[in-house]
Amino acid sequence: MHNLTHQTRTIPLTGYVAAGTDGARVDLTEIDMRGFSGFRICASIGTVTATGQMAIYAKNSSTSATYGSGTVDDIGSNTGNTSNRIVIAEFYRPKERYVKPQYQRTTANVVINAIWAELFNPDDAPVEQLTTHVDDAPVFYNNPTPSET
């Protein structure tokens, strides 16, 4: 593989979320995994107050928009508590077609810079980025020569 973008579909899930705690989990945009065998959820966290915790979760279902409450249908999670880091949870071959990402901030304030998903291992490549998710056409540089000025 020479260009990651040709092998990955990027989906923004949320932008900036001001410092706070959520109590319950917050649902993000559902992902249709058709045509891909793996995905990862990436959360860029900003400032975390001393005891703050940021968690990302993924639920899995064979039916769109149908997920169990609480931890029912969970397939995995990851947590972070350090300011200015990225928390990643990666999944390969989920059993069902649809995925519902979620996040939860607990104990003390956590700032979210952005959360996005990346679908990978496509059945067919190259992958076309969806214009509803990615601005303009991605730019690819293969063996670029540095400028001299």
Per-residue pLDDT tens over the stretch 21-45: 998 999 999 999 999 999 999 999 9
Burial zone of 9 (CB within 10 Å; 0-12 exposed, 13-18 middle, 19+ buried): buried
Instruction: Compute the mean pLDDT over every residue in the chain, rounded to the nearest whole number.
Output: 93
Band of the pLDDT at 131, cuts 50, 70, 90? confident
Q: Which two tokens stand for residue 97?
A: 């077609």
The set of residues, in sequence order, having a beta carbon less than 8 Å from that of 130 and lying 6+ positions away, is 9, 11
Output the pLDDT for position 92: 97
Q: Where are the beta strands (DSSP E) in the chain?
A: 8-14, 17-20, 26-27, 31-32, 36-48, 53-61, 74-80, 85-92, 98-106, 110-122
Q: Is the pLDDT of residue 1 over 70?
A: no
Identify residue 92 by its one-letter amino acid code: Y
| Per-residue CA distances from 46 to 41, 50, 62, 79 (Å) | 16, 13, 34, 14
- pLDDT tens digits for range 50-104: 999 999 999 999 999 999 998 999 999 999 999 999 999 999 999 999 999 999 9
Q: 17 vs 141, which has greater pLDDT?
A: 17
